[in-house]
Amino acid sequence: MLAEDDPDIRLVSRLALKRAGYRVTAAENGVELLAEVAQDPPDVILLDYMMPEMDGAEVCRRLKADPATRHIPVIFLSAKSQGFQIEEAKQLGAIGYIRKPYDALTLGAQVKAILEEQP
């Protein structure tokens, strides 16, 4: 599952992930993502940090507070890559952080590498 408010980034990321073999559902914002996750829980969530209506931090808090979704790995995507965002992502329960702009050709490999690092 991918949550990204920028339509161009969402399209390119979705295509890149599909090309890497992932089945991708995309949401425009955090509210939409939470509704989608309730209907069809994904194996992993790629979550933009800055989105309208509900930011990625709040989405992650809600996912990790819910026993039905706390097990789903969350990887943040963000242009904000200062240390405190990365540290906050970890404190929220995210397993990884991919900085924007990222290379769409390697996005699938980056996701796979982060998932493989998990016990």
**104 DSSP assignment:** G
Residue type, 93: G
Helical H segments across the chain, by residue range: 7-19, 30-39, 56-65, 83-92, 107-116
Domain extent listing, the chain: 2-101
- pTM greater than 0.75: yes
Q: Give pLDDT tens digits along the chain (119 positions).
A: 999 999 999 999 999 999 999 999 999 999 999 999 999 999 999 999 889 889 999 999 999 999 999 999 999 998 765 555 778 888 999 999 998 888 989 999 999 999 999 87
CATH class (in words) of the domain with range 2-101: alpha beta
